[in-house]
Amino acid sequence: MTETPLLSVRDLKLVFDGRKGPLTALDGVSFDIRPGEILGVVGESGAGKSLTGTAVIGLVDPPGRIAGGSIHLAGQRIDNLPAEAMRALRGRRIGAIFQDPLTSLHPLLKVGDQIVETILTHLPVSRTEARARALDLLEQVGIPAASTRIDHYPHQFSGGMRQRVVIALALCAEPDLIIADEPTTALDVSIQAQITSLIKRLCREKGAATMLVTHDMGVIAETADRVAVMYAGRIAEIGPVAEVTRRPRHPYTAGLMASIPSVLRRNATLQQIDGAMPRLGAIPPGCSFNPRCARATELCRTLQPTLGLQAHEAACHHPLVEADHG
């Protein structure tokens, strides 16, 4: 960790102000992404992956609010910026790709116009230059016959093609950081791999740091440099992909890995983790995973484990060690 991180999230706490008081949705989330690095984020539905991304791009809407911690982008604190400054940052320095390409684009505007408008918002170029750039981008993301497609409406594209347009939109001002929230979940399996490798290639080419949220450990293994495993609003484990997948330390991660079918794994039996992730407001004291954990002790039920500062860390009082991986 010699390089300064591009994105640095520290002790991020996000709450929803409800009628029965605040509900903590993110609790002490900390991670870094270095320039050009791809951080995968995995975890069960409701673990807080999307919220983390939303907090980074500064789009947490009431009743949600950031209640603590900090977010730094290239050394500059961005979580408390005035709205207008944050807006100028979004799209320019942080690009976002959302899950559903069918609903991400404005249905009544030509895709080219949507790209041109975004470019003109952020870069000091003329309309003609912006259009040339939009065309170039559409070609880069692999849209065939881009020069005619640029004047088409979103409904004239297939889902996969629309996601390519969404990627072009996210990249059009050359951001340093890309937040991709399940960019392939809504797509056909046959297209998922194409989109994933497109994102990976473009991030590498442009040197953009990326936070890639996904449910697919296969995608993580192929694409990401490091991975963060989230559970109930906290990071359970974070580390280099190879380390975390082969030698998980947190029992939750180990369970997650065991529940994934893999051609590489010899023991063919799929396992699943018993129980369900607690709802917000019903998160147990201590380690939030303790009710489902075979290794849990009294300590786990009282004291919340924390993450250290090493490259590979697990928030666990009784992490799995080398011997456990046989």
Ligand X SMILES: Nc1ncnc2c1ncn2[C@@H]1O[C@H](COP(=O)(O)OP(=O)(O)OP(=O)(O)O)[C@@H](O)[C@H]1O
Q: Which is nearer to Mg ion, 100 or 222 (CB)?
A: 100
Residues 34-53, interacting with Mg ion (CB under 5 A)? 50
Question: Which residues lie below 8 Å from residue 3, measured CB to CB, with a gap of 6+?
Answer: 34, 35
User: Is residue 211 within the footprint of ligand X (CB under 6 A)?
Assistant: no
| Residue span 22-61 as binding mask against another protein, x where in contact by CB under 8 A, dash where not | -----------------------------------x-x--
Supply the minimum distance, in Å, between the C-beta of residue 218 and ligand X.
16
Peptide bond into 285 cis (omega under 30): no
Name every residue whose Cβ is closer than 8 Å to that of residue 2 and which is 6 or more positions away in sequence.
Answer: none
d(CA 200, CA 38): 8
Kindly state the smallest distance separating residue 57's Cβ from another protein, in Å.
6
Q: With CB cut-offs between 5 and 8 Å by kind, which of Mg ion, ligand X, another protein, none does residue 45 bind?
A: ligand X
Using CB under 8 A as the binding rule, the residues of this chain from 197 to 236 that contact another protein are none
Q: How far apart are CA 238 and CA 276, in angstroms?
A: 21
Nearest to 198 by CA among 218, 228, 219: 219
The candidate with the shortest Cα–Cα distance to 290, out of 69, 53, 213, 299, is 299
Find the binder of another protein among 55, 141, 169, 235 (CB under 8 A).
169
Is residue 58 part of the contact set for ligand X (CB under 6 A)?
no
Which partner, Mg ion, another protein, ligand X, none, binds residue 155 by CB below 5 to 8 Å per kind?
another protein
Q: How far is the CB of 3 from ligand X (least distance, A)?
A: 28
263 binds another protein (CB under 8 A): no
Give just the sign of the alpha carbon dihedral 42, 179, 153, 136: negative
User: Counting contacts by CB under 8 A, is residue 92 touching another protein?
Assistant: yes
- Extract long-range pairs of 133-140: CB within 8 Å, 24+ residues apart: 133/172, 134/168, 134/172, 137/168, 137/171, 137/172, 138/111, 138/112, 138/164, 138/165, 138/168, 140/168, 140/171, 140/202
Using CB positions, name the residue nearest to Mg ion: 50
Which residue from 259, 253, 309, 189 is spatially nearest to 41, judged by alpha carbons?
253
Q: Rule CB under 8 A: is residue 111 a binding residue for another protein?
A: no
| 100 makes contact with Mg ion (CB under 5 A) | no
Strand partners, 198: none
Tell me the residue nearest to ligand X as measured from the CB.
50
40 binds ligand X (CB under 6 A): no
**Shortest separation between residue 200's beta carbon and ligand X, angstroms:** 21
What single DSSP character describes residue 325? G
65 binds another protein (CB under 8 A): no
CB-nearer residue toward another protein: 152 or 317: 152
Contact 207, 175 (CB under 8 A): no
CB of 62 to ligand X, least distance (A): 9
Instruction: Pick out residues in 245-284 that bind ligand X (CB under 6 A).
Output: 280
Query: What DSSP character marks residue 90?
Result: B
Selected from 25, 146, 150, 173, the binder of ligand X by CB under 6 A is 25
Cα dist from 3 to 7, 8, 36, 109, 169, whole Å = 12, 12, 11, 42, 29
Tokens of 70: 């900090």
Q: Enumerate binding residues for ligand X (CB under 6 A).
A: 16, 25, 43, 45-51, 64, 280
Q: Enumerate binding residues for another protein (CB under 8 A).
A: 57, 59, 87-92, 95-96, 98, 100, 103-109, 117-118, 121-122, 153, 155-156, 166, 169-170, 173
